[in-house]
Copies of this chain bind each other. A is one copy, B any other.
Amino acid sequence: MPQTTRGLATRQGILEVATAIASVEGLEGLTLGRLATDLSMSKSGLFAHFGSKEDLQLATIEHARQIYVDQVILPGLADAPGIATLYRLCDRYLALMEQRAFPGGCFFAAAMAEFDARPGVVRDTIAMLQRQWLDLLERAARDGVRLGELNRGVDSVQLGFELEAAMLSANWYFHLYSDARFFVLSRAAVQRTLRAAATSKGRRMLEGTEEVVRQGAERALLRVRRAAQGRTDR
């Protein structure tokens, strides 16, 4: 069945709502009934777009993936390969979380937590995409070593894991406490980890990013103060 432009637009709109629901309620909470209620659509109207709950889950994952590609991965890869890409990938990921692009926090962190013990095509898709993300960090780390920006002894798998750990944990703690200071801790961890692995050439390349970090920290603290002010005003 050929899809009309209107059909495509509607599909996009549905997936935007589905992505937001899934980040809070989980992909299992994403039933056609729930989505139909939220969108004031008929279940049969939704059924024309997505034949099954699993189809809807997979389409929602693909929609979320595209957001990370546009907002994190493409900006990261647009930078020079090596330490600049590595820094930018972390920076863009944290910025996306700070902007609360997903109301329930990182879509894929939530999906990992939900599906790690549920075998099937949804889990396999999430596992494959997380593998691609870790590979991206590891490849940028290898480029950094090759280009003399990171020390020869640096293990790219280890460095990728440590950067991912700083990002993933900031996401969980930010959402538990609604406390933006966890992003400040995460950015400082990314900087410290990269600097510890960097050559003097690599450290010079990172210096330009320090200003960005300082500004990011100030923005986050400002937001914390405003939130505290809001509570006092009430």
Q: What is A's interface to B at a CB cutoff of 8 Å?
A: 24, 103-105, 109-110, 112-114, 116-117, 126-127, 130-131, 157-158, 161-162, 164-166, 168-170, 172-173, 175-177, 182, 185-186, 188-189, 192, 196
- Give the chain B neighbours of A196 by CB distance below 8 A: 192, 196
Residue of B nearest to A160 (CB): B185
- Residue from A127, A165, A168, A196 with most neighbouring chain B CB atoms (10 Å): A165
The answer to whether residues A116 and B165 also contact, given A157-B185, A188-B158 and a CB cut-off of 8 A, is no
- Give the chain B neighbours of A172 by CB distance below 8 A: 109, 112-113, 116, 168
- Give the chain B neighbours of A126 by CB distance below 8 A: 176
Query: Which of B103, B161, B175, B186 is A189 in contact with, Cβ under 8 Å?
Result: B161
Whether A166 lies near B176 (C-beta < 8 A) is no
Whether A162 lies near B189 (C-beta < 8 A) is yes
Residue of B nearest to A195 (CB): B196
Q: How far is the CB of A186 from chain B (nearest CB, A)?
A: 8
Whether B110 lies near A175 (C-beta < 8 A) is no
- Give the chain B neighbours of A105 by CB distance below 8 A: 116
- Give the chain B neighbours of A116 by CB distance below 8 A: 104-105, 172, 175-176
- Give the chain B neighbours of A173 by CB distance below 8 A: 130, 161
Q: How far is the CB of A159 from chain B (nearest CB, A)?
A: 10
A67→B186 CA distance, assembly (Å): 29
- Residue from A103, A112, A162, A175 with most neighbouring chain B CB atoms (10 Å): A162
Q: How far is the CB of A10 from chain B (nearest CB, A)?
A: 27
Query: Which of B103, B109, B165 is A165 in contact with, Cβ under 8 Å?
Result: B165
Q: How far is the CB of A94 from chain B (nearest CB, A)?
A: 13
Q: How far is the CB of A154 from chain B (nearest CB, A)?
A: 11
